[in-house]
Amino acid sequence: MDGLAAASEAAAGNTAARRRKRRAATPWGIYSYLVPTMLLLAVFSYFPFLSAFYHSLFEWDGVNASFVGFQNFQRMLQDEALAASLPNVLILTAMSIFFALTLPLIAAEFIFNLRSQRAQLFYRFAFTVPLVIPWIVVVLVWQFIYDPIDGPLNALLTGLGLSHLTRAWLADPNIAIYAIGMLGGGGQGVGFPFVAGLNLLIYLAGLNNISREVIDASRLDGANVWQRFWLVDLPLVTGQIRIVLIISIIVSIQSFQTIILLTRGGPGYSTMVPGMAMYQNAFEFGRMGYASAIGVVLFVVMLAITMLVLNRLKSPTEADPA
């Protein structure tokens, strides 16, 4: 009897296990594993945006709030600092896109074409090691480079007999925004030699995904390295270019960390960007509602640009939706 009872319990346990397995195999069972992730996204991503949109309709200082409708958005049209920030963010975004789409891709192409696996691993390691260095260290290094008195940039120009080109690089309103852009576009860039490790890895992943048969066919057709780059490699890494482009645009539009460390938007408004204007209104002027309105507009702009890039920039290997 004891053996029969044990066998019955084992059979019941196996049946329950099979039922749990079937439930887990159903779509709802699979989707249930996403619940913790969705909860975290809701708390740390979706709720802040919805809160910003809600408070953008209020005159809010962080404690007291009074409903003002769309007055905060109307105020943006008369904001002198915000108006001055628009050409600056366009300059930084353009420089960021240039640095992100050119030099890392060229470096990735050179590494991809190395015949030695050891050499490929070495250069891949050398370019990605800076990823572990905090970006603030890079910014402070460039702050020292731009120092008008002790900085090596002015010292180098003087030593080359080009002292007439020396500048107070971050204090000159005519060139300060371009000096910041040389850090990689004003976001969390890398500066010279402008080969961001993350972008390099993205491009390398795309190049390594190209079929060996396609490369061999191009060689049989007599294509040299540059012809293969323009006609084969570049079209087939369009997906990676799209990713890097979107990331560069988003980071450039929303970033202000480099600005706040180097110039705080000055001199005057010559390096002001929308993210810096949002930060100042929120934490220095106590206009949390107005800052929320700026954040909502930035979100809409970045979303529109992202959708435009996704729809317009497509790889030849991607099929158009029916």
DSSP string, 248-275: HHHHHHH--HHHHHHTTT-STTTT--HH
Query: 40-50 burial string, b = 16+ CB within 10 Å, else e?
Result: eeeeeeeeeee
Beta bridge partners of 67: 58
Burial 155-167 (b: 16+ CB within 10 A, else e): eebeeeeeeeeeb
Query: How would DSSP label each residue in 9-29?
Result: HHHHHHHHHHHHHHHHHSHHH
User: Does residue 321 have a cis bond before it (omega within 30 degrees)?
Assistant: no
Which residues, 6+ apart, have CB-to-CB distance to 295 below 8 Å? 52, 56, 278
Contact call for residues 236 and 211 (beta carbons, < 8 A): no
The reported pLDDT for the residue numbered 218 is 82
pLDDT-above-70 percentage for the chain:
86
* pLDDT above 60: residue 255: yes
pLDDT given for residue 144 in this prediction: 92
- Which band of pLDDT confidence, cut at 50, 70 and 90, is reported for residue 290? very high
- Average confidence (pLDDT) over 6-12: 48
Cα angle: 36, vertex 41, 42; to 5 degrees: 95
Distance CA 49, CA 68 (A): 19
Please, are residues 99 and 194 in contact by the beta-carbon 8 Å criterion? yes
- The distance from CA 62 to its chain's CA centroid, rounded to whole angstroms, is 29
User: What tens digit of pLDDT does each residue of 18-45 get?
Assistant: 555 555 556 776 778 888 888 998 888 8
Do residues 128 and 201 touch, judged by C-beta distance below 8 A? yes
User: What distances in angstroms separate CA 71 from CA 74, 122, 247, 274, one per listed residue?
Assistant: 5, 56, 31, 18
Contact 137, 188 (CB under 8 A): no
Cα-Cα-Cα-Cα dihedral sign, residues 178, 184, 187, 190: negative
> 241, 108, 103, 100: which is closest to 181 by C-alpha?
100
Residues 110, 246, 87, 271, CA torsion sign? negative
In the structure encoding, which two tokens stand for residue 238, read together? 């369009």
Whole-angstrom Cα distance, residue 183 to residue 306? 23
Quickly state the pLDDT bin for 317 (edges 50, 70, 90): low
Share of the chain above pLDDT 90, in %: 44
Residues 128-143 have pLDDT tens digits of: 888 888 888 888 888 9
Q: What is the DSSP string of 84-146?
A: HHHHHHHHHHHHHHHHHHSHHHHHHHHHHT-S-HHHHHHHHHHHHGGGGS-HHHHHHHHHHHT
Which residue is listed with tokens 């919805």? Answer: 50
Arithmetic mean of pLDDT, 271-300:
93
